[in-house]
Amino acid sequence: MIIPIVFALFAVCNSQKLLDLKSFNAAGDTKIDATGPYSIYVSASSDDDALLKQISVKTSDNQVKTLFDLKNNKIMMNTGLLQPFAVTTSAVVSSTLSQDQMNQLKGYLYVTTAQQLQNTKGFLVFDVGASEKIQISAGIMPDDVTIVFLNTNYKIQPYQPSTISAWVQAEGSSVNIYEGIPTDVDEKKDSQIFSNPVTLSGGNSKFFPTVQIFSLNLGSFYVKSHKGVQFVIESSFTDIDNSFTTAKTTTGFYMKPIASPDRKVTIHTGHDNNFNGTTGVNVVGNVATNANFAVTGPGNWAVTPSATIQPWSVATIADTLSFETVNSVAGEVFVQYYLIEGAQNIPTTTSLPGRSTTARGVQTTTKSTATVQFLTSMLIPVIGARLL
């Protein structure tokens, strides 16, 4: 039993962490509670550079970097792709700031696992900022890529906004988005907040070539891509209330951020009533037990969101689709919706079996003409005989 215990302790010590910068000691050192090797990333877009320059990470092998250095430790300038700062054994965070100055900080220090550090091509970390195209190309990069996004932008409300648009994905690939930061083990089944292909309420899945623009308000989230994906991300907020979908068969996403007021959000589907179809949602959330999420439009449905997907669908599409949260101010709710336009409705007409209204009219006309012709043929000889 000794070996499993040793491995368990190692896993705990080497676990990934997302640490608030304000949690470190003021005017002193704080040991990072992790066992090397691991990598460090810093996101601090809303913090004063002068303060970040007074906090350093010092490694056991005498590497020293300020948080200002690590914040700007980019693979390429003017991008959000961060370069890992590798720690071989251990490191401390050393600060000369006062406690009041430390309390002003809003950024994160992200500590990875050894496995993530070693996955140099399949593990990427981005600091969300200006508009940037994320392109994971199948055949050029590994089949499976994990992209972690950190967002510390408190200059826009709702805070920590990330807008994703211009989604391009090939059929046969798959993408899942999760809240938080990744571990070295597989995620819990149905814990994703967004996916494509989408898990349908019947247990099947469907690929959607068109994904609507959407926003998240999270300090950290990650995308797991299999065989590629492309999209644009930027630190901005796009309100989808009263928006119109750009395709009849499509999927999209809505998030009610933590601490944001409850509200009702409505999407216009542009549905053509000459076609049938399906509307569905997958709901995940972290809310109080008395909280509620409701769907209105093509039917009505309500549920208390939980940590895994709760699905709902209805065999129709309405002109609008609405989402509403109740008693969820202290929680967050994630909603992936989808619309599937079906076959064209075929109009029906009232008629007798085997006969249409038009056919009956033709038959009536034909029979009347035949009767006249018959009577005429009978009367002419009779009239002629009398005349003779």
pLDDT for 173-212, tens place per residue? 999 999 999 999 999 999 999 999 999 988 899 999 999 9
Domain contains 361: no
Strand partners, 280: 313, 338
The answer on 104 and 169 residing in a single domain is no
| pLDDT tens for each residue of 209-240 | 999 999 999 999 999 999 999 999 999 999 99
The answer on 104 and 158 residing in a single domain is no
The answer on 286 and 209 residing in a single domain is yes
Which residue, 94, 116, 138, sits at the end of a domain? 116
Residue 40, pLDDT > 50, answer yes
The answer on 64 and 101 residing in a single domain is yes
Predicted local distance difference test score (pLDDT) of residue 5: 36
137: nearest Cα among 154, 122, 117, 157: 122
19: nearest Cα among 205, 219, 201, 156: 219
Predicted local distance difference test score (pLDDT) of residue 348: 59
The answer on 69 and 196 residing in a single domain is no
Which residue, 325, 344, 363, sits at the end of a domain? 344
Give the max Cα distance, the chain: 140
Q: How many domains does the chain have?
A: 2
| Range of the structural domain that residue 319 is part of | 121-344
Within 8 A by CB and 6+ apart from 86, the residues are 37, 38, 39, 117
Contact criterion met (CB below 8 Å) for 167 and 252: no
Domain contains 368: no
Which residue, 116, 133, 153, sits at the end of a domain? 116
**98-137: b or e for each residue (b if 16 or more CB lie within 10 Å)?**
eeebbeebbbbbbbbbbebbebeebbbbbbbbeebebebe
The answer on 111 and 144 residing in a single domain is no
The answer on 85 and 186 residing in a single domain is no
Domain contains 73: yes
309: nearest Cα among 380, 203, 217: 203
Mean pLDDT computed over 311-316 = 97
The answer on 289 and 142 residing in a single domain is yes
Predicted local distance difference test score (pLDDT) of residue 354: 53
338: nearest Cα among 209, 187, 192: 209
pTM score, two decimals?
0.86
**Cα–Cα dist 57/33, whole Å:** 13
Residue 158 tokens read as 């709702």
Mean pLDDT computed over 33-47 = 97
